């Protein structure tokens, strides 16, 4: 039995729905009498727009409200709680200096509708960040407008479509590997392209022969992630880029896995024409919870004329907004971007510094390969090809004992760890995708390795118990199939 695992037991606070708490006329505030004359809201707004009361609205005292939301927050698990090994999602620690900078009064209190002369600091920061992201990717220009990674994908594909139309040719297809993120074919289809799947080779790479067979003059671009979603570097990317470019196509790099390359290699130098960043993955901005997000797109010079407007322009020490871009795809987001997220990413890049940027990738790759080396004799590797920033195992060894990937993930919860990404990538049966990121120390990696080793040993002696895990969490094992087929999305009193 392992020791010193981060899980806890003991006091677990039950919490009912807020709608099930309180009592009529209980309040949590005290306001002085208003000095504004009383106005009949029905007369001012129209009777049809005024309701007598809010149905089922909870009425609570201040301490009850505070306890309710604090208890809910204690149920949540995030990067501030512990190791978060979600492969592909790159759940890395968010340094608190980023939060401090985003809350500087000049940034926090600025309004997105201010004219350029009142927002010079904001524009300067964004102009600098655009240049940094272009340099890191080996590109020539950047737009910060897209509000998320998938939104960046869509924007990049719109740029590609606009480019081909500008060249007088209409292309209708996008090549996408079978190992792609699910958003890649979705973004392509949303942009009006037909998706053509390209099979990966036996070692998890995209092979030039498969691309050459699929590449025609009707293909607008090849859209790949590098390293790919198997955690494998696409070592043939230079040859593949030559094949695509020879037929007039463009190379799109899904930048979701830039955490493995930042400061070490640049997609623009590999032959890519466009890349979207996921700032939450590579540059430590908050991830999850529905946003806000940011998915900047960096491009080669041939695509720069099509970037969204307005463009930030510097003349001397002044910054202005340029709307005069005849070939632009237009605006892709209201105002300029999710500015608070950009401040966080800019802070992170400045804090790390150019001279230490490559350490992000080096430590991320080191941590993943350390976990791989320590667990490869217990868990079956999906591919023997060297891993980059994440490693993919399967449940093949444990499945023979009656234990599945889902069982292993549930048992990890009892041992105090968030489960890794499971059953993705889809081309790997019963995958377990683990990404430690550079944020984790050897000690935290060792704790996770010990937990995984303990689970493997338990499958040898008591496999039947796994069907009842987790046992120490707030809720026991749920019926996932029933929850998916018949979700309860609304609450109403009995």
What would the pLDDT profile of 165-182 be if each residue is shown by its tens digit?
999 998 999 999 999 988
Give the per-residue pLDDT at 475.
82
Alpha-carbon span 316 to 231, nearest angstrom: 44
Task: Say yes or no to pLDDT of 399 above 70.
Answer: yes
Q: pLDDT confidence of 14, banded at 50, 70, 90?
A: confident
481 C-beta neighbours (distance < 10 Å), count: 8
Task: Say yes or no to pLDDT of 357 above 90.
Answer: yes
For the chain, percent of residues with pLDDT exceeding 90: 79
- Give DSSP secondary structure letters for 22-63: B-TT--S---PPP-SPP--HHHHH-GGG--SS-TT--B--HH
Task: Say yes or no to pLDDT of 448 above 70.
Answer: yes
Fold of 110-352: 3.40.640
Give the per-residue pLDDT at 494.
64
Contacts 24+ apart (CB under 8 A), 63-69: 63/28, 64/21, 64/22, 64/26, 64/28, 65/28, 68/15, 68/18, 68/21
Task: Over range 335-342, report the average pLDDT.
Answer: 91
Encoded tokens for 220: 């607008």
Task: Say yes or no to pLDDT of 13 above 80.
Answer: no
Q: pLDDT confidence of 3, banded at 50, 70, 90?
A: low
Contacts of 484 (CB under 8 A, 6+ apart): none
Q: Among 87, 266, 299, 263, which residue's Cα sits nearest to residue 179?
A: 87
Give the per-residue pLDDT at 388.
96
Task: Say yes or no to pLDDT of 438 above 60.
Answer: yes
Encoded tokens for 233: 């570097």
**331 HSE (CA, 13 A, CB side):** 10
Task: Over range 240-257, report the average pLDDT.
Answer: 97
What would the pLDDT profile of 104-142 be if each residue is shown by its tens digit?
999 999 998 999 999 999 999 999 999 999 999 999 999
Q: pLDDT confidence of 317, banded at 50, 70, 90?
A: very high
For the chain, percent of residues with pLDDT exceeding 70: 97
Task: Say yes or no to pLDDT of 334 above 80.
Answer: yes
- Confirm if 349 and 412 have CB atoms less than 8 A apart: no
Give the per-residue pLDDT at 182.
87
Backbone angles phi, psi at 76, to 5 degrees: -75, 150
Bridge partners (DSSP) listed for residue 381:
393
Task: Say yes or no to pLDDT of 290 above 70.
Answer: no
Please name the CATH architecture into which domain 360-485 falls.
Alpha-Beta Complex (3.90)
Task: Say yes or no to pLDDT of 478 above 90.
Answer: no
Task: Say yes or no to pLDDT of 262 above 90.
Answer: yes
Alpha-carbon span 393 to 382, nearest angstrom: 5
Task: Say yes or no to pLDDT of 11 above 70.
Answer: no
Give the per-residue pLDDT at 291.
66
Give the per-residue pLDDT at 8.
56
**151 HSE (CA, 13 A, CB side):** 20
Task: Say yes or no to pLDDT of 2 above 60.
Answer: no
Q: pLDDT confidence of 10, banded at 50, 70, 90?
A: low
Alpha-carbon span 275 to 482, nearest angstrom: 39
For 190, counting Cβ atoms within 10 Å of its Cβ (0-12 exposed, 13-18 middle, 19+ buried), the class is middle
For β-strands 141-143 and 250-255, DSSP reports them as unpaired
Task: Over range 139-166, report the average pLDDT.
Answer: 97
Alpha-carbon span 199 to 177, nearest angstrom: 6
Encoded tokens for 123: 């524009």
For 339, counting Cβ atoms within 10 Å of its Cβ (0-12 exposed, 13-18 middle, 19+ buried), the class is buried
Task: Say yes or no to pLDDT of 199 above 60.
Answer: yes
The domain ranges of the chain are 18-75, 110-352, 360-485
What would the pLDDT profile of 41-100 be if each residue is shown by its tens digit?
899 999 999 988 787 889 999 999 999 999 888 888 888 889 999 998 899 999 999 999
Give the per-residue pLDDT at 24.
87
Give the per-residue pLDDT at 151.
95
- Confirm if 275 and 297 have CB atoms less than 8 A apart: yes
Q: pLDDT confidence of 393, banded at 50, 70, 90?
A: very high
């Amino acid at each position: 039995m392992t020791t010193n695992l981060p899980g806890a037991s003991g006091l677990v606070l039950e919490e009912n729905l807020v709608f099930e708490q309180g009592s009529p006329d209980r309040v949590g505030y005290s306001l002085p009498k208003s000095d504004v004359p009383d106005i009949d809201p029905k007369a001012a707004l129209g009777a049809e727009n005024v309701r007598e009361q809010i149905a089922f609205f909870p009425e609570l005292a201040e301490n009850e409200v505070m306890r309710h939301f604090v208890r809910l927050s204690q149920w949540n698990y995030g990067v501030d709680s512990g190791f978060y090994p979600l492969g592909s999602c790159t759940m890395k620690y968010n340094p608190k200096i980023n939060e401090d900078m985003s809350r500087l009064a000049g940034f926090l209190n600025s309004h997105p509708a201010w004219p350029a002369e009142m927002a010079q600091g904001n524009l300067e920061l964004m102009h600098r960040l655009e240049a940094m992201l272009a340099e890191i990717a080996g590109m020539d220009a950047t737009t910060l407008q897209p509000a998320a990674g998938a939104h960046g994908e869509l924007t990049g594909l719109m740029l590609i479509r606009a480019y081909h139309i500008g060249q007088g040719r209409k292309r209708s297809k996008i090549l996408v590997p079978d190992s792609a993120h699910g958003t890649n074919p979705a973004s392509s289809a949303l942009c009006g392209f037909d998706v053509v799947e390209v099979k990966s080779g036996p070692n998890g790479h995209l092979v030039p022969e498969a691309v050459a067979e699929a590449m025609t003059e009707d293909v607008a671009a090849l859209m790949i992630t590098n390293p790919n979603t198997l955690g494998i570097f696409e070592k043939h990317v230079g040859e593949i880029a030559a094949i695509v470019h020879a037929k007039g196509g463009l190379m799109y790099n899904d930048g979701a896995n830039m955490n493995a390359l930042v400061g070490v290699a640049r997609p623009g130098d590999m032959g890519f024409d466009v890349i979207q960043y996921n700032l939450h993955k590579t540059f430590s901005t908050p991830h999850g919870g529905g946003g806000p997000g940011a998915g900047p797109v960096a491009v080669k010079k041939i695509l720069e004329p099509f970037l969204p407007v307005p463009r930030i322009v510097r003349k001397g020490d002044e910054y202005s907004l340029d709307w005069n871009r005849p070939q632009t795809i237009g605006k892709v987001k209201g105002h300029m971007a999710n500015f608070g997220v950009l401040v966080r990413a800019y802070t992170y890049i400045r804090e790390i510094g150019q001279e230490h940027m490559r350490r992000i990738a080096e430590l991320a790759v080191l941590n993943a390969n350390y976990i791989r080396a320590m667990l490869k004799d217990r868990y079956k590797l999906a591919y023997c090809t060297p891993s980059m920033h994440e490693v993919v195992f399967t449940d093949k060894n444990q499945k023979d004992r009656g234990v599945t990937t889902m069982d292993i993930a549930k048992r990890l919860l009892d041992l105090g760890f968030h489960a890794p990404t499971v059953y993705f990538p889809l081309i790997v049966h019963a995958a377990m995708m683990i990404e430690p990121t550079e944020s984790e120390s050897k000690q935290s990696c060792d704790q996770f390795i010990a937990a995984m080793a303990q689970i493997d040993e338990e499958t040898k002696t008591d496999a039947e118990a796994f069907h009842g895990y987790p046992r120490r969490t707030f809720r026991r094992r749920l019926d996932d199939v029933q929850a998916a087929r018949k979700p309860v999305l609304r609450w109403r009193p009995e």
